[in-house]
């Protein structure tokens, strides 16, 4: 994630489908060119109890898009007395992005959540493309994330295994991508709702992974 007067996207985000739901993670560094502008930037947004958005791009664009989607999810629930399906949320965000033809939102998004059909992850680009997948990554640190996930991801992962993979992947990006750094933020979404992993638990898991390796 970068400040609004730069043109390159520097961030690391990821999302993956697990057996019990989805895991979404980001780091927290915001850059302005070669300057580290902020060390604890919010890039992971809770949209609803079953839905989250991981964001890379311009801060202003990301914040307004998160607010749009949060408002639409709330309206959907109020009108229909049920939560918006993940695919519908992805289509809605895709339409919002696609409406800006000449001055597009400078963003790369990962939308993840759980509904009656299971866990889902979507990668969305600035032109409105929405691609479902089992796992995906975004931002300048994504090549390092894919290196870890291609090696470690498998069908039927537990949430616990997914969190450990997310920690390894984001850490790899932080170690190699200068635009990625700071803390690691991780959210898990299951049938029980949205939960963010505490900083203390992430540190404990990192120590355990280091000993194992």
Using a 10 angstrom Cβ sphere, with 0-12 exposed, 13-18 middle and 19 or more buried, the burial of residue 81 is exposed
- Per the annotation, the verdict on 11 as an active-site residue is yes
Containing 198, the helix (H) or strand (E) segment is: none
Token digits of residue 30: 């915001």
Chain centroid to CA 178: how far?
Answer: 19
- Of 11, 13, 41, 55, catalytic: 11
* CB 68, CB 116: distance < 8 Å: no
The distance between the two most distant Cα atoms of the chain, rounded to a whole number of Å, is 51
Whether the CB-CB separation of 122 and 27 falls below 8 Å is answered with no
Residue 2 neighbours by CB under 8 Å, 6+ apart: 8, 9, 10, 11, 30, 31, 32, 37, 57, 58, 59, 179
Structure tokens at 205: 């898991």
Under 8 Å between Cβ of 167 and 205: yes
Catalytic (active-site) positions: 11
């Amino acid at each position: 994630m970068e400040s609004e007067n730069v043109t390159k996207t520097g961030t690391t985000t990821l999302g993956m489908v697990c057996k019990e739901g989805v895991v979404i993670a980001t780091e927290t560094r915001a850059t302005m060119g070669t300057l580290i502008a902020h060390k604890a930037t919010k890039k992971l947004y809770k949209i609803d109890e079953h839905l989250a958005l991981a964001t890379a791009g311009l801060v202003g664009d990301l914040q307004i898009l998160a607010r749009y989607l949060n408002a639409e999810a709330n309206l959907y629930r109020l009108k229909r007395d049920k939560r918006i399906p993940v695919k519908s949320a992805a289509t809605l965000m895709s339409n919002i992005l696609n409406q800006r033809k000449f001055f597009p939102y400078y963003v790369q998004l990962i939308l993840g959540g759980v509904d009656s059909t299971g866990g889902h992850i979507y990668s969305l680009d600035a032109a409105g493309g929405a691609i479902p997948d089992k796992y995906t990554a975004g931002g300048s640190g994504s090549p390092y994330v894919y290196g870890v996930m291609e090696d470690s991801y498998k069908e039927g992962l537990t949430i616990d295994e997914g969190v450990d993979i997310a920690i390894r992947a984001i850490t790899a990006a932080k170690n190699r991508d200068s635009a990625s750094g700071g803390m690691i933020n991780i959210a898990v979404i299951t049938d029980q709702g949205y939960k963010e992993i505490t900083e203390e638990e992430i540190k404990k898991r990192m120590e355990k992974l280091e000993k194992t390796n």
